[in-house]
Structure 1
Amino acid sequence: MSEAIRIQVTCQYLAESSHPAQQKYAFAYHVRIENTGHEAVQLMNRYWLITDADGKKTEVRGAGVVGKQPVIPPDECYEYSSGALLDTPVGSMQGYYEMKKADGSTFQAPIPVFSLVVPHLIN
């Protein structure tokens, strides 16, 4: 069933919220979750693995996203924006959403790895 959930992430560096002298780099990311299946699903929980350029790994687990546990009907999308703060100008995020079907069963919808990079840092 996880193949019936398509997840796309775009991100941007937030220079105005970053403090490179203190090694704090802020990023915003926008997630689009598309249900390409034939039944509604509810996003129950999230898991993120955030890795910075020094190899520091941070795990984030919690209920829903941005305070919501949305139901996504077939052929519809749910979108939200959030952010991450890194100690390095380069990092990555990946994870999964735990989704619940109408029958109460759950499955993991993987979130593909994506990069967080300060612009013009890498050519």
Structure 2
Amino acid sequence: MVSAITNGVKVSVLTHFQPEYSNPFQGNFVFSYHIKIHNGSDYTVKLLRRHWYIHDANGLVREVEGEGVVGQQPTLEPGQSYEYTSGCNLNTSLGKMAGTYQMERIFDGKFFNVVIPDFTMVAPFRMN
């Protein structure tokens, strides 16, 4: 698990290879990632947008941007957490993702970006 803290908001990520949805012979590798966002700040915050960079082992970089996460724009009071699971497919058995969440501090309407730390996605057979 990897984590990063920005302005008191902690993002932790855990990844898993999904062999039942992957087909290595056709260059399709599916990974899930579980994210926990914990508001350790003194302010209520709302997650507005996500911005991802997805890298595969061939050097291909995809950029994904959009509202919320998994159809939600969660609001977190101080001390609250929000968790979700999503997925990513790659053409290679090795890759990485990183990005930011755009948040709003409800108290004063200030927008700020929270770092999503770099995390790797590795098919288990690559570990041998």
Aligned residue number for residue 64 of structure 1: 68
After TM superposition, give the deviation of residue 79 of structure 1 in Å.
0.3
After TM superposition, give the deviation of residue 112 of structure 1 in Å.
0.6
After TM superposition, give the deviation of residue 104 of structure 1 in Å.
1.2
Cα separation, 2, equivalents of 1:13 and 1:3: 31
- 1:1-123 alignment runs, 5 A limit: 2-102=6-106, 103-123=108-128
CA RMSD of aligned residues (A): 1.1
What runs of 5+ residues in structure 2 fail to find an aligned partner? none
Instruction: State the secondary structure of the residue aligned to 1:121.
Output: helix
After TM superposition, give the deviation of residue 105 of structure 1 in Å.
1.1
What runs of 5+ residues in structure 1 fail to find an aligned partner? none
**TM-score scaled by structure 2?**
0.93
Moved over 2 A (4+): none
Aligned residues: 123
